[in-house]
Amino acid sequence: MRVGKNPASTFDTLASHRRHRILVPVYIPHTNEYFADALEILQLCLRSLRATINKQAGNEQVAVTLIANGCCDEALQVLETEFAAGWLDQLCVNQTNRGKVDAIISVARGSFEPLLTFADADVLFHPGWLQKVEAVFAHFPDCGFVSPMPNPTKHWYNSSATLWAAKLRGELRRAKVVSDAALDAFAQSIGNPAYFPAEVRQSQWIVERNGQQAVVGAGHFVCTLRREVLAAMPKHAALKGYDSNADQRWLDQPPDALGFWRLATTEALVAHLGNVAEPWMHERLADIEAHSTNNMASHNVPPPPAWHVGKIIPYGVRRLGIRAVRKMQRLFSR
């Protein structure tokens, strides 16, 4: 039986989807041992994210999705509190752990935003990260992958389209643009102070166009992809709780396979927290919340060129060429 008229039957036009969606998977099964500081790390991450996507400067076009993966009650309570605060667009709760890749890609495939940021739950976001990531897409429309944390050790990693196309365009060169302090902080956060060798500290591979620069070389612990990249991701489930090979197949390879560039900002606009809370993290968060950028204009990101150079050169040819160059470089460096 139906009484009255369903309000949804008016067929009113709904608000359009937003410009940028940020997806953060959360896996905190308990709060012991490895996860002893997990709730504190999570709150640092979420507070910094909220502070840096304030509703000024067009950021009302940004939506945030948190995905709970088999989380314990204490973690769910934190997530539900954040959702009740009204700044999240979605809170997805998986009763069991579906793994990082399956959790984020299943939600991403149901989204309509042209830009999708995937971030681990141990990221501290700095003011301006969102605008500067979007600026890279705006200045380099060939780009399909941008990280707010440059990693110059990875300039060969899934960057075949970037290196070949930028070289052909005369936009590839070496320069010192990433500070040693940024490199030191990341290396320390992963427990490997010697992570960055002298070669990549002295200078980095960069692309430059109309005075705008970006770094060739990026990891995936926080990255922004064009929505078009979803088409090249494997259609089956990864079925992995965490696996670096899954990250590579779903996040790293698809942009390069489609001919998109893989770039990073020239400065570290996020920090990696790890699983142990330290005093500097709270100090940094206080500074972030006190100086959150309110007046930086967001960028309208143009669609990628239909026949950009990276797409024209076949994927297999690009990768074979890169391998040959690397092999020759190793031989001559001996």
Is position 4 within any domain?
no
Give the pLDDT confidence score for residue 288 in this predicted structure: 94
Is position 303 within any domain?
yes
- Mean pLDDT over 150-159 rounds to 95
Give the pLDDT confidence score for residue 58 in this predicted structure: 45
Q: How confident is the model at residue 300 (pLDDT cuts 50, 70, 90)?
A: confident
Is position 217 within any domain?
yes
Is position 26 within any domain?
yes
Residue 309 is part of which domain span?
16-332
Residue, of 14 and 315, whose pLDDT is higher: 315
Query: Which among 178, 179, 181 has a CA at the least distance from the CA of 204?
Result: 178
- Mean pLDDT over 159-167 rounds to 95
Question: 271: which strand partners?
Answer: 124
Is position 221 within any domain?
yes
pLDDT > 60? residue 55? no
pLDDT > 70? residue 89? yes
Give the pLDDT confidence score for residue 334 in this predicted structure: 60
Q: Residue 240 sits in a domain of what CATH number?
A: 3.90.550.10
pLDDT > 60? residue 317? yes
Read off the pTM: 0.92
**Exposed, middle or buried by CB within 10 Å (0-12, 13-18, 19+), for 274?**
middle
Query: Which among 247, 256, 244, 258 has a CA at the least distance from the CA of 217?
Result: 256
Query: Which among 20, 18, 25 has a CA at the least distance from the CA of 45?
Result: 25
Total of domains in the chain: 1
pLDDT > 80? residue 243? no
Is position 7 within any domain?
no
pLDDT tens digits, residue range 194-237? Answer: 999 999 999 999 999 999 999 999 999 999 999 999 999 999 99
pLDDT > 50? residue 57? no
Across the chain, mean pLDDT equals 91
Is position 123 within any domain?
yes
Query: Could you count the other beta carbons within 10 Å of the beta carbon of residue 95?
Result: 9
Among the listed ranges 47-56, 192-201, 243-252, 266-275, which one has the minimum average pLDDT value?
47-56
Is position 3 within any domain?
no
> Which position has the token pair 């031989």?
331
Give the pLDDT confidence score for residue 176 in this predicted structure: 97
